[in-house]
Structure 1
Amino acid sequence: MNGESHEDREQRIRKLWKTLDTRSEGQLDLPALKKGLRTIDHPLKNADDLLHDVLKAVDTSGDGRIQFNEFRVFVEHAEHELWQLFDSIDRDNSGGLDKDELRLAFRRAGLTISTSKLDQFFDEVDTNHDGEISFDEWRDFLLFLPASQSSLRAMLSYYSATTNVNQEGDVHINDTLQGFDFLPPPGYFIAGGLAGIVSRTATAPLDRLKVYLIAQTSPKEATVKAVKDGRPFQVLRNFGRPLVDACKDLWAAGGLRSLFAGNGLNVVKVMPESAVKFGAYEAAKRFFAKIDDSDPKHLHPTSQFLAGGIGGVVSQCLVYPLDTLKFRMQCETVSGGLHGNALIMQTAKKMWTQGKLLPYYRGLGMGLAGMFPYSAIDLFIFENCKNYVLARKAKQARCHEDDVEMSNMTTGIIGATSGAISATMVYPINLLRTRLQAQGTVLHPPTYKGIVDVTIKTVQGEGIKGLFKGVTPNLLKVAPAVSISYIVYENSKALMGLR
């Protein structure tokens, strides 16, 4: 095997044994084996679960310890299997494996591996970095791969289970969930924050328009008169009037500046909100992937849904007081009144005098009840549509999904769709929450005792359709906002090398 004599192999195995047996006890239990593997910096040095399997496979006597004779038999058997696998991949019989040979071998075995993962694996095994993997390097890295599973599929599973290359290029063992190991790299939070700032600023006028319409509780006189007079066509003609009239009113209140009222707070609020949402979502995906023993990119649908909801809830709890302050400030913006920082300070003081911290958290229950399904549905639809598109492109190109790219247009269309569907489904909850937040302001003078009270009064005064008041400008805002958010998020991740 590889031109090595029996004596040389025996000497090499004994040398490896002495290196592993750091205590010179002539046997290895689990702690001793682990310490020995750390001495040679083997990938299994911290993978406790796999080490139990190795100990069980080598310890044929079943006494919980490995003796030299057991170790030698195991090594000889494992090396024979690894040589057969190595030789089958080495198509040009050069005695070394290059990346093209490995890629072709995976393809022949019906496996797809991304270019980045192949590069990572190759760099790990090619210890002298000469551009090819020798059998010695191959053997040393895969020595403890169970002999009965010496196949490319088993090798790939072994590598994925033992090593995980993080975004900074450092290698760490992916053994047990310790501390906050499931937290994603900071880049995900940065990308999320940038996505929120860009999308929210671009759609600030539409958000302002939505809040203005939600705060109004009485229909326009023209519509009421048309209904009383029995003129249905006039009612239909006046259907879009609230939107037009609202635009006129807001422009009269302060021109372009009025349309961006609250955007300063939006930026202060949305950066941490979006950053935490996407960061918590990625963390939740890793957490559920650990529990399900699966890939974070291909979670079970239930886990995917829950991860999206958790991301939204965590971010909502963080920024809810700022959200309430923004809504109240927008509802205090009138022609000839205060603007900018002066209005923010006045609104904040007024809220504090009304009940200290309580007004800042009014409607939080409904906010969380609305945010969980909104975020869950939005991220669930986006991720599944994205995975479908990538899988289809990868199949057409006959490559791994990580090696194909999704255009910004496709990303935007999927994002707009997922955002519109989720926003429409939870809109009544958000409307009631907003009215609880805005109660007692100039534009929304009514006050409520709680969630049940605001629901009853809204339905009694405006009917079921009142629960969807402002849904049109909301969709006009949500669709482009979510679309822009996902485009910025995905591109920011790509720039930082995140997947």
Structure 2
Amino acid sequence: MGEARVRLPFGWTRARCQDDGASEAEREKRWAELFQQLDVNKDGRIDINELRSGLAAWGVVRSDVDEIVRVSDTNHDGQLDFEEFTQYLRTHEKELRLMFHSLDNNNDGRIDVGEIQQSLKSLGVKVSIEQASRILQSMDRDGTMTINWNEWRDHFLFNPFHNMEEIAHFWKHSLMLDIGEHLTVPDEFSERERRAGLVWRQLVAGAIAGAVSRTGTAPLDRLKVFLQVHGSAGVGLWCGLQRMVQEGGIMSLWRGNGINVVKIAPESAIKFMAYEQIKWLIRGTKEGGTLRVQERFVAGSLAGATAQTIIYPMEVLKTRLALRKTGQYSGMVDCAKQILQKEGVRAFYRGYVPNTLGIIPYAGIDLAVYETLKNAWLQRYCMGSADPGVLVLLGCGTVSSTCGQLASYPLALIRTRMQAQASTEGAPKLSMVGQFKHIVTQEGVPGLYRGIAPNFLKVIPAVSISYVVYEHMKKVLGVDS
């Protein structure tokens, strides 16, 4: 009876790994084969680099190599010998077997879609049949739409999860990164995660990452604002940078960054709380999984509008401080006092209408492109994981954010010019429609995209900085990936 020899991620065949009832000797033989494949330099030890490169070559995603070595390296030499390696596998396989049997409710030796859905529901994570099917397909190597023990073991063998709560978190967890323009609305969180404080730790990690990212790319952000307001005078990228440095020195490139960083925390907190309330209103009494794409679009747009309404005066302050001349304001408080005394309270909401209108195309296109790209990747490469991984999500987020910015940029430019009206000599005091007509008449359609070059230039460094800081802060705050 010849069994189909399907290639598995770890480089051995199905016929050699059907060891549900295997003896200890057979298991150790399999572990020895794994050890030999990972021990590239054949020195009888596996270091972190060998383990990382070996798992990457096998297509294992989201594995915490450092954690595997930390818990297994009993002699603390930074490497795993065969005994330490097999001890990790022996212990971890026992944990995985317990988790497998906890999912296998009917004890038939296989996990189906219903059992995955029911297990997650018992942990406070509601998923649809479609979402549960996608999770199952990420582990299903033989196309039976069920998971046997070997498929389960192979999928999680090098992911050091210790219980079903951690695996459930792995299946549904996603990123919240800030690349300097908008904070992504958080994904669904279970009641267990809320009680554990995960939501707020993740918000803090995202806010700190955003603060470092914005500070690192502040010169490009100020250049964007400068060109949005003064670009019609024929000021180019390099010329604008030179003029800012000549007027106030190198440090002037960070003008307005202080309040840009300060507003991250209240904006993200308000947006998250508003999103939770709006999501509850949209869902009502319906039972089921997460919001559909169109529902998330509505909830995200309304949550963004709510947050912007409350923190919008800080946006005006940021623009005025970014455009100020040396000595014009002594700081945020002085800037706010002068605006209040000279222009009144209404000045703090100049440009509010185009800003709010810009949220709709940005949020809609950003979310639609993000979901489309993520789902396309999952459908094509679903053998990897139901969670596409950090780098894939970052790539999808970068592309979707860029598309959203392209659509909403003219409204952002009009908003900035309205915010800057009183502080810019000779600038016409126009309404939103008046600004639009003036720009198109005087500068043509390209005038609606003044300053977009530095805006795009900052995307890659902003994403990179956010990613590194975010991952580090999650570890510091105890948020598992």
Query: Which residue is equivalent to 2:223?
Result: 209
Distance in structure 2 (CA, Å) of the matches to 1:457 and 1:269: 31
Query: Which residue is equivalent to 1:329?
Result: 321
Query: Which residue is equivalent to 2:423?
Result: 441
Deviations 1:244-268 (A, max 9, x none): 1111112212232111111111111
Query: Which residue is equivalent to 1:99?
Result: 99
Query: Which residue is equivalent to 1:272?
Result: 266
Does the 8 Å CA contact 1:413/1:483 hold for their aligned counterparts?
Answer: no
Does the 8 Å CA contact 1:189/1:279 hold for their aligned counterparts?
Answer: no
Shift of 1:305: 1.3
Q: Does 1:319 align with 2:311?
A: yes
Distance in structure 2 (CA, Å) of the matches to 1:119 and 1:272: 33
Deviations 1:8-31 (A, max 9, x none): xxxxxxxxxxxxxxxxxxxxxxxx
Does the 8 Å CA contact 1:188/1:278 hold for their aligned counterparts?
Answer: no
Give runs of aligned pairs for residues 480-491 of structure 1, distance below 5 A.
480-481=461-462, 485=466
Distance in structure 2 (CA, Å) of the matches to 1:289 and 1:481: 34
Does the 8 Å CA contact 2:231/2:450 hold for their aligned counterparts?
Answer: no
Does the 8 Å CA contact 1:416/1:478 hold for their aligned counterparts?
Answer: yes
| TM-score, with length taken from structure 1 | 0.55
Does the 8 Å CA contact 1:213/1:470 hold for their aligned counterparts?
Answer: yes
Distance in structure 1 (CA, Å) of the matches to 2:304 and 2:380: 29
Distance in structure 2 (CA, Å) of the matches to 1:281 and 1:365: 21
Query: Which residue is equivalent to 1:52?
Result: none
Distance in structure 1 (CA, Å) of the matches to 2:308 and 2:366: 15
1:328 counterpart letter in structure 2: R
2:313 counterpart letter in structure 1: P
Q: Does 1:193 align with 2:207?
A: yes
Which of the numbers 167, 170, 183 marks the counterpart of 2:193? 167
Which of the numbers 416, 430, 448 marks the counterpart of 2:398? 416
Distance in structure 2 (CA, Å) of the matches to 1:280 and 1:266: 21
The 1:405/1:186 distance shift into structure 2, 3 A limit, reads same
The 1:99/1:119 distance shift into structure 2, 3 A limit, reads farther
Q: Which has the higher contact order (CA 8 A, sep 6+)?
A: 2
Shift of 1:112: 6.5
Give runs of aligned pairs for residues 70-469 of structure 1, distance below 5 A.
98-104=98-104, 105=108, 107-111=110-114, 113=116, 117=120, 120=123, 165-167=191-193, 185-216=199-230, 218-220=232-234, 242-285=236-279, 287-290=281-284, 293-296=287-290, 299-333=291-325, 337-338=326-327, 342-386=330-374, 389=377, 395-397=382-384, 401=386, 404=387, 406-407=389-390, 409-442=391-424, 445-469=426-450
1:208 counterpart letter in structure 2: R
Does the 8 Å CA contact 1:188/1:493 hold for their aligned counterparts?
Answer: yes
Does the 8 Å CA contact 1:106/1:112 hold for their aligned counterparts?
Answer: no
Deviations 1:20-51 (A, max 9, x none): xxxxxxxxxxxxxxxxxxxxxxxxxxxxxxxx
Shift of 1:321: 0.3
Does the 8 Å CA contact 1:312/1:376 hold for their aligned counterparts?
Answer: no
Number of aligned residues: 317
Query: Which residue is equivalent to 2:15?
Result: none
User: Where does the alignment leave 5 or more consecutive residues of structure 2 unmatched?
Assistant: 1-96, 125-189
Shift of 1:219: 3.5
Shift of 1:493: 6.6
Shift of 1:118: 8.8
Shift of 1:210: 0.3
Distance in structure 2 (CA, Å) of the matches to 1:115 and 1:392: 27
Distance in structure 2 (CA, Å) of the matches to 1:118 and 1:293: 11
Deviations 1:265-304 (A, max 9, x none): 11112232233334534554455345653312xx322102
Shift of 1:114: 8.3
RMSD over aligned CA atoms reads: 3.7
1:306 counterpart letter in structure 2: V
1:167 counterpart letter in structure 2: E
The 1:392/1:249 distance shift into structure 2, 3 A limit, reads same
SS in structure 2 of the partner of residue 396 of structure 1: coil
The 1:458/1:165 distance shift into structure 2, 3 A limit, reads closer
Does the 8 Å CA contact 2:409/2:448 hold for their aligned counterparts?
Answer: yes
Query: Which residue is equivalent to 1:80?
Result: none
Distance in structure 2 (CA, Å) of the matches to 1:384 and 1:460: 37
Q: Does 1:474 align with 2:458?
A: no
The 1:363/1:169 distance shift into structure 2, 3 A limit, reads closer
Does the 8 Å CA contact 1:289/1:295 hold for their aligned counterparts?
Answer: no
The higher radius of gyration belongs to 1
2:457 counterpart letter in structure 1: L
User: Mean alpha-carbon deviation: is it higher for 313-322 or for 424-433?
Assistant: 313-322
Does the 8 Å CA contact 1:280/1:311 hold for their aligned counterparts?
Answer: yes
1:196 counterpart letter in structure 2: G
Distance in structure 2 (CA, Å) of the matches to 1:106 and 1:199: 49
